[in-house]
Structure 1
């Protein structure tokens, strides 16, 4: 993703126009040069790669564009995970100071050899020949293992997506209208919303098209940066749809306290690079497998069903749980930034609008005074479980066992 200093956009009235890249010959040449450099530097340290970048970046017409393209490549590259050398570095520096104090060597090479000899055998054999190896665990010394095998057009597509994502990081909200989409496509979007734990209100317009009102990081009180990343990661899923449009009221880059409307749709040069499709998070896979083993009569479904309520609003349950006698129940998870949504859902339950809904609530959220009192309601005793990152099979299993009991 592009950092704030690399975002390019122009204000036009009340709107904010992203400055997309188009694949001109000069831009393709720049992309090819950057990609070739990274691919040819496999095995080099990060510092060595960065030393070779300035000639390419400085001959670009726009250094902001060149730096942005390079950041996209750098984020996709992988570097070696070095051994933590902090303890060894401390021991080496202590041994060096002691040697200088007690018996200074005649040369720098002799001093390095005496320090290496004072360290445990085999800890860093190259220290005498390469003193820089003592800092091999620092980021600049990490070695490049893989570089992306993209085309220049692929890099430009990823830049445009990263530009849109970066502009969304300052959004108060994101309003989405999904045009003609199959049921399967709508369910994929719903699953993506759940995967990224976004605050969203769903509705259908007069033509039956799905509309989303997604809260942005600017409207979240807790963990704004983390939530902003989740919202940004949702955008590639949206861009896989054939017809969609969205608008976000967001901060203007490099303008303090200035806001404008960012408008996006399926005509923008945004190519969805989502590998989501049938992805199931590991914690959900574990929940499925454990429940299947411990409570085989319960069936879990996470296909992205939308649950309508009596007041006309829609819910995206995280899980649909079915039992031969207990029937169908719906589990909705509330993470620490879902405080307002939890208040609404508790009110819906008290009003009898969601009779088959189960709640899983983040412990951080449940500890807040107003929520703690509401969740202690005896009527919710067998409809609420608490979690830290994702509901555990043990906590959810207690509720399901109670629901499966025959009526007394």
Structure 2
């Protein structure tokens, strides 16, 4: 994302509008200049790259745009490292110790560097006094070395810039309302994972047939001007872009030192915004266990049809997306959740979700290898009507079909 000083935002009444670059030849040329600069700077220290960037900016009125593109090129596509034969702080201690009592004497400093270089060579770390002089402060950010750069296409850098400007709007958000319209439930599942990953407090309402409304807020953000929670909301935006149909409304607390800002502001966005995510979409299956079961079920002789992640069960502050739905031509329908993961916290959370769901049309397939008792899980606390299927290495479709007909 971009630091606040590189955000370019304007107000239209109470609406906050971020800067957006068109995919024009002018913008592409600007992005290509930045990409070429970094591609030609591999092996150079950061301060030299910044000097070259200043020359590139010149008197151009778009200097902030170029700095933003450069920041994203560096943070998203480049790798900078500390180059030193020894951890710089330890190296400084050895050099200062060798030149103790002779501060300000260049000759004494040179002799100390040479002596430390000899010691390092004896330790199998060959170096010269000149190299050590450069390495003394190699840990300072301006002395980090650009060791690798994967040049993106100009359009990819421009897309990242436009997304980063939109993310920057959310730094000062204290409430975010997302309406995820009817979508592939697999998309919901990925979105909810990111909500949890970024520690966002969420209220979820709705159902899979009509869509879901997610209201995200944080108690600390309501009482003091902190952008920490807004940063987490900003990180969620690329995940939301991987959902097919959605809309977003954010309520913001603008900076107090901005004379043009209203007391509160609003930011809206939807799935037709044209922004492009750099987050990868999930694979079709969450595990080899699920994929193998689906393949075996396809070969089974049965009237039951297996559908992948087609129902989402809303829960207070969360949601459960069962792995499969089984549908019979006569109208019967069951949800199937496979529990094969062993971590205790996962088991407790999964069984708690099932218990809170209150669903009686659920089949729970549980691996016999799991230590449920050790995880504090009690099967007896599951809602009445939940069908249990136990399996060892593989989940047999025949056992699931037997539970359906039992």
Partner of 2:99: 96
* Number of equivalences: 323
Q: SS of the residue aligned with 1:246?
A: strand
Q: Shift of the alpha carbon at 1:170?
A: 1.0
Q: SS of the residue aligned with 2:203?
A: strand
- 1:8-40 alpha-carbon deviations (Å, 9 max, x no partner): 111112211122111232221111000011011
Partner of 1:36: 36
**Match status 1:8 vs 2:13:** no
Q: Shift of the alpha carbon at 1:237?
A: 1.4
Structure 1 residues 194 and 397: alpha-carbon distance in aligned structure 2, compared to 1, 3 A threshold: farther
Q: How does 1:73-84 map to 2 (within 5 A)?
A: 73-76=73-76, 77-82=78-83, 83-84=86-87
Partner of 1:167: 169
Q: Say if 1:73 and 1:148, in contact at 8 Å, map to a contact too.
A: no
**Match status 1:178 vs 2:155:** no
Partner of 2:375: 398
Structure 1 residues 355 and 35: alpha-carbon distance in aligned structure 2, compared to 1, 3 A threshold: closer
Structure 1 residues 120 and 314: alpha-carbon distance in aligned structure 2, compared to 1, 3 A threshold: closer
Partner of 1:274: 279
CA distance in structure 1 between the partners assigned to 2:120 and 2:379 by the alignment: 64
CA distance in structure 2 between the partners assigned to 1:184 and 1:134 by the alignment: 52
CA distance in structure 1 between the partners assigned to 2:314 and 2:127 by the alignment: 66
Q: SS of the residue aligned with 1:144?
A: strand
CA distance in structure 1 between the partners assigned to 2:379 and 2:207 by the alignment: 36
Q: Shift of the alpha carbon at 1:235?
A: 0.8
Of the structure 1 ranges 201-210 and 171-180, higher mean CA displacement relative to structure 2 is found in 201-210
- 1:281-338 alpha-carbon deviations (Å, 9 max, x no partner): 9xx99xxxxxxxxxxxxxxxxx7974345xxx66325997759xxxxx98559xxxxx
Q: SS of the residue aligned with 1:245?
A: strand
Q: Say if 2:94 and 2:116, in contact at 8 Å, map to a contact too.
A: no
Q: Say if 1:166 and 1:232, in contact at 8 Å, map to a contact too.
A: yes
Partner of 1:66: 66
Structure 1 residues 128 and 255: alpha-carbon distance in aligned structure 2, compared to 1, 3 A threshold: same
CA distance in structure 1 between the partners assigned to 2:163 and 2:229 by the alignment: 18
- 1:47-87 alpha-carbon deviations (Å, 9 max, x no partner): 22222111222353322211111111111111225452212
CA distance in structure 2 between the partners assigned to 1:128 and 1:155 by the alignment: 41
Q: Shift of the alpha carbon at 1:252?
A: 3.1
Q: Say if 2:95 and 2:112, in contact at 8 Å, map to a contact too.
A: no
Structural RMSD (CA): 4.1
Structure 1 residues 235 and 397: alpha-carbon distance in aligned structure 2, compared to 1, 3 A threshold: farther
Q: SS of the residue aligned with 1:79?
A: strand
**Match status 1:87 vs 2:82:** no
Q: Say if 2:253 and 2:264, in contact at 8 Å, map to a contact too.
A: yes
Partner of 1:149: 151
Structure 1 residues 166 and 394: alpha-carbon distance in aligned structure 2, compared to 1, 3 A threshold: farther
Q: Shift of the alpha carbon at 1:229?
A: 3.3
CA distance in structure 2 between the partners assigned to 1:105 and 1:142 by the alignment: 25
Of the structure 1 ranges 205-214 and 72-81, higher mean CA displacement relative to structure 2 is found in 205-214
Partner of 1:356: 355
Q: Shift of the alpha carbon at 1:179?
A: 2.7
Q: How does 1:260-271 map to 2 (within 5 A)?
A: 260-271=265-276
- 1:174-232 alpha-carbon deviations (Å, 9 max, x no partner): 11112342223233323332333321111128971221111158636799655433322
CA radius of gyration, larger in:
2
Q: SS of the residue aligned with 1:399?
A: coil
CA distance in structure 2 between the partners assigned to 1:10 and 1:115 by the alignment: 56
Question: TM (normalized to structure 1)?
Answer: 0.66
Structure 1 residues 118 and 395: alpha-carbon distance in aligned structure 2, compared to 1, 3 A threshold: farther
CA distance in structure 2 between the partners assigned to 1:31 and 1:152 by the alignment: 5
- 1:253-282 alpha-carbon deviations (Å, 9 max, x no partner): 56288420011112323112211414999x
CA distance in structure 2 between the partners assigned to 1:25 and 1:85 by the alignment: 45
CA distance in structure 1 between the partners assigned to 2:54 and 2:285 by the alignment: 42
